[in-house]
Every structure is written in structure tokens, then in C-alpha cells.
Amino acid sequence: MKYQFVAVSGTIGAGKSALASRFASLTNSQLILEEFANNSFLEKFYSNPERYAFPLEISFLFERFQQMKTTFANADLFKTSFIADYFFDKSLLFAKNNLTADQFAVFYPLFETFREQLPSPDLLIYLKRPVDVLLKNIQKRGRSYEQSISPEYLENIQHYYLTYLKSLQHQRVLIIEMEDKDFIADEKNFRKLYGLLFTEFLPKIHFFNINDEI
């Protein structure tokens, strides 16, 4: 693998955790999976966003920072690379969507302080899917608290992701149009994505479609 730190990102339901997990297994990389299940505010947020958005985003900010900081500080001696199913700046994008202006004014200085202490991914892969596909994936995996997520919410999150990613002109960013294609059952699609880890990319934004030869 050509990169020491790879982050697989995407909107809710894009398949980032499944892809990151398989990447890590095949490359003997240290896997960093977001620990969202233990966040006590997540389910409450989906039922009452206005009340719980701020504690949710602050708690996620601290949790993501602590996880990344600890992982990089205590790296496995036998694993020299890292693959994550998120990148730290995800916190900023969800905060922009979910917080009021006053709340964001409190959030942002904390985010900046934490971000300065963490490495940026050497390669950032974004899995872009249509909203209807994201909704089907969310429904299929069956997490009860996610079933109320609206198409508008997913559209907004994806908008913040894409706008932000396109501003990262000095990083290696791959935006991949996944459409409704499967990379778990379809080995050919997976191999296309896996090959990206061994391809030298210039630091800029790269666009691909899963239907094309990558």
C-alpha cells in the first residue's frame, strides 16, 4: 500500500465501514472504526434534533479526537499503516448542518484546537451515492434510530461533504460515484476500489465512476 493513513468517508449509508474493514484486513493495517454506538445522544438527536444537536456534536468531537489521538500514539508495532472509516473533519461538516450559529461559534474553536493535533489522511476516499440508495441501505441495516432520517437531511450532509472536499486542493481526495453498485458481493467492484490503495495520486481532487476502469 502506498499510503500510511487512508480515510474512507461518505454520507450515512454509503458503505464506508464495510470498505474500510476489508481494506484493513487485506493490507494488515490498523483499523479505526468510529465508535458511534456508545454515544448516548445519538438516538435522542434523531428524535429531537433541536434539543440534542449541540451535546451530540460536542461529544462526537471529543470522542473522535480521543480515538484518533490514542490510536496514533499507541500504534501497533506490527502494523505500519492506518485505515479509518471517517476523517476528523467530518465533525465540522455535521456541526455546520446541525448547529445554530451561536452553537457553532462555541464548537469551532474546539474543533480547530483538536484538528491541529491530528494527522491528515494521506489518501481520502469519498463514496458518493444517490440519496435513494443511501435510504435503502439505511433501511436494510435496520438501526431503529436511523429510520427517521429524511432525504433532505442526507442531501444536506452530502452537500457539505462535497463542498468541503472540493476545497482540499492540496490533499489527495478521491470522489467516487458509486451509484447503487455493491462492492461486498461484487468482487470486481471491490478490486477496483482496492487498487486505489496502490496507485500514486497527485495531491488534488480526483473524480471516478465505479463503472469505469479505475
pLDDT tens, 98-123?
999 999 999 999 999 999 999 999 99
Is 205 contained in some domain?
Answer: yes
Cβ–Cβ contacts within 10 Å for residue 86, how many? 23
pLDDT-based confidence at residue 178 (cuts at 50, 70, 90) = very high
Cα distance between residue 198 and residue 111, in whole Å: 32
Percent of the chain's residues with pLDDT above 90: 87
pLDDT, residue 78, reads 83
Is 166 contained in some domain?
Answer: yes
**Closest of 28, 33, 27, 40 to residue 9, by C-alpha:** 33
Using one digit for the tens of pLDDT, what is the confidence trace for 149-160?
A: 999 999 999 999
pLDDT-based confidence at residue 126 (cuts at 50, 70, 90) = very high
Is 97 contained in some domain?
Answer: yes
- Angle (CA) 112 107 43, round 5°: 120
Is 33 contained in some domain?
Answer: yes
pLDDT, residue 145, reads 81
Q: Is residue 56 over pLDDT 80?
A: yes
Asked whether 173 and 205 are in contact (CB, 8 A), the reply is: yes
Q: Strand, helix or coil at 44?
A: helix
pLDDT-based confidence at residue 15 (cuts at 50, 70, 90) = very high
* Number of domains the chain is built from: 1
123 exposure class (CB count in 10 Å sphere: 0-12, 13-18, 19+): buried
Is 39 contained in some domain?
Answer: yes
What is this structure's pTM? 0.94
Average pLDDT over residues 55-69: 97
The boundaries of the domain holding residue 82 are 5-209
Is 214 contained in some domain?
Answer: no
**Closest of 208, 59, 48, 194 to residue 128, by C-alpha:** 208
Element at 92 (helix H, strand E): helix 90-98
Q: Rounded mean pLDDT of the chain?
A: 95
CATH number of the CATH domain containing 18? 3.40.50.300
Sheet architecture: strand order including 205-209: 30-32, 82-84, 5-10, 123-128, 173-177, 205-209
Is 159 contained in some domain?
Answer: yes
Highest mean pLDDT among 29-38, 104-113, 134-143, 144-153: 104-113
In degrees and rounded to multiples of 5, residue 190 shows phi and psi of: -60, -45
Q: Is residue 38 over pLDDT 90?
A: no
